[in-house]
């Protein structure tokens, strides 16, 4: 966009998106209202559940990564049983069986759900739209290095890129490698380098 | 339920296309990989999808595939891999399996 000092572009209003509900939106409303009407759940319980899910954020996952970078014994427990290790930090993984896959010497991991959009929501919140898109889901398994490249992530030729497809009951998080130059950093400082995308595996952590 | 396979075992995914809700991706059907770990036993999604109870539970595995076995014409690097969760009824010992189906 050039800045000519003039304000010549038009401001066509974006149309409202308030058409009739879709089939599944109507079904959700109907089922929810029935459940409330029959006393199975209360409106307050529905609201609280939505609020709890909205409150989950990548900050939780960043805390887990920072702890694993700081404490090798915690890292070992995290790789053995991800859900149990997160519980140590007060993070309730609900019914999720978390598998943490660690990037290592010449190994880079990336996660996907080719069949739908399984994602470690209990740990890092709601997935980005691109994660649910058909393009990402089909391409990252077929041409992972090209997709990583589009995120600005170049993995050396002699490294393995390993794609994890969550097709069933496991959910995945990538444990990135601790960036160099962070010796002596606190867990809080380290957590600031951990992004949502590096826990999906499409990028690396921020540099210090 | 006792798991039939263990880590390191070579397995082949059945080349099958039954109707219904299937959680075995097309791209691994008929392909050979190696058991990475046993995840435990879980209710059968092919039953759960139709509001049945999903019993008996089925052992679930993570299977590692070399990308070149999935896409022989792939230009990708030799070492790259894909790991997929697959329920036991979809797996058979690789050595006993017939080749083909790709």
Whether B92 and B14 have beta carbons less than 8 Å apart is answered as yes
Q: Which CATH class is domain B10-89?
A: mainly beta
Is the pLDDT confidence value at A15 over 90?
A: no
Token pair 């019914």 in the structure block, residue: A95
Is the domain of A41 the same as that of A95? no
A142, A160, A167: residue with CB nearest B85? A167
- Strand pairing category for A160-165 and B91-93: unpaired
Is the domain of A110 the same as that of A44? no
At residue A25 the predicted structure's pLDDT band, cuts being 50, 70 and 90, is very high
Find the domain containing A68 and state its range: 57-200
Q: What's residue A37's pLDDT?
A: 97
Respond yes or no on whether the N-terminal peptide bond of residue B56 is cis (omega within 30° of 0): yes
Q: What's residue A5's pLDDT?
A: 55
Active site positions of A, annotated: 113, 116-118
Is the domain of A30 the same as that of A109? no
Higher pLDDT: B67 or A3? It is: B67
Is residue B25 within 8 angstroms of chain A, CB to CB?
Answer: yes
Q: Is the ipTM above a cut-off of 0.85?
A: yes
Span A162-172, pLDDT tens digits: 999 999 999 99
Is the domain of A38 the same as that of A77? no
CATH of the domain at A147: 3.90.330.10
Provide, as residue numbers in chain A, all residues whose Cβ is less than 8 Å from the Cβ of B82: 141, 162-165
Higher pLDDT: B78 or A159? It is: A159
At residue A1 the predicted structure's pLDDT band, cuts being 50, 70 and 90, is very low
Is the pLDDT confidence value at A130 over 60?
A: yes
Whether B34 and B9 have beta carbons less than 8 Å apart is answered as yes
**A interface toward B at CB cutoff 8 Å?**
97, 99, 114-115, 141-145, 157-170
Q: What's residue A185's pLDDT?
A: 97
> Into how many domains does chain A fold?
2
Q: What's residue A101's pLDDT?
A: 98
Span A59-89, pLDDT tens digits: 999 999 999 999 999 999 999 999 999 999 9
- Domain ranges (residues) in chain B: 10-89
Q: Which of A54, A51, A69 is nearest to A198 (CA)?
A: A69
Is the pLDDT confidence value at B51 over 50?
A: yes
Span B21-30, pLDDT tens digits: 999 999 999 9
Is the domain of A172 the same as that of A73? yes
Is the domain of A69 the same as that of A128? yes
- Strand pairing category for A107-112 and A97-102: unpaired
Is the pLDDT confidence value at B20 over 70?
A: yes
Among chain A residues, the shortest Cα distance to B70 is held by A142
Is residue B63 within 8 angstroms of chain A, CB to CB?
Answer: no
Q: What's residue A6's pLDDT?
A: 62
Does residue A10 lie in a domain region?
Answer: no
A201 class by beta-carbon count within 10 Å (0-12 exposed, 13-18 middle, 19+ buried): buried
Is the pLDDT confidence value at A125 over 60?
A: yes
Whether B32 and B97 have beta carbons less than 8 Å apart is answered as yes
Does residue A171 lie in a domain region?
Answer: yes
Q: What's residue B34's pLDDT?
A: 97
Is the pLDDT confidence value at A97 over 50?
A: yes
């Amino acid at each position: 966009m050039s800045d000519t000092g003039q304000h010549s572009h038009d401001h066509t209003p974006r149309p409202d998106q308030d058409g009739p509900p879709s089939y599944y939106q109507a079904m959700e409303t109907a089922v929810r209202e029935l459940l409330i009407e029959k006393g199975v759940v209360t409106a307050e319980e529905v609201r609280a559940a939505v609020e709890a899910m909205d409150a989950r954020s990548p900050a939780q996952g960043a805390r887990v990564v920072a702890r694993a970078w700081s404490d090798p014994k915690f890292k070992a427990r995290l790789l053995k049983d991800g859900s149990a290790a997160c519980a140590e930090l007060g993070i309730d993984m609900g019914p999720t069986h978390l598998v943490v896959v660690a990037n290592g010497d010449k190994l880079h991991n990336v996660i996907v759900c080719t069949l739908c959009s399984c994602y470690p929501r209990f740990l890092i919140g709601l997935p980005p739209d691109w994660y649910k898109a058909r393009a990402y889901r089909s391409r990252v398994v077929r041409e992972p290095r090209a997709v990583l490249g589009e995120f600005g992530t170049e993995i050396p030729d002699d490294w393995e890129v390993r794609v994890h497809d969550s097709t069933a009951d496991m959910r995945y998080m990538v444990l990135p490698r601790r960036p160099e130059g962070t010796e002596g950093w606190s867990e809080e400082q380290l957590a600031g380098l951990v992004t949502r995308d590096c826990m999906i595996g499409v990028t690396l952590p921020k540099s210090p | 339920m006792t798991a039939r396979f263990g880590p390191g075992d070579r397995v082949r995914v059945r080349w099958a296309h039954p109707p219904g809700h299937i959680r075995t991706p097309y791209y691994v059907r008929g392909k050979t990989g190696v058991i990475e770990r046993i995840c435990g036993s879980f209710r059968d999604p092919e039953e759960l999808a139709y509001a049945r109870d999903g019993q008996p539970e089925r052992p679930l595995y993570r299977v590692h595939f070399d990308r070149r076995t999935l896409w022989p014409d792939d230009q990708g690097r030799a070492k790259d891999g894909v790991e997929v969760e697959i329920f036991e009824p979809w797996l058979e010992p690789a050595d006993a399996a017939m080749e083909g189906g790709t």
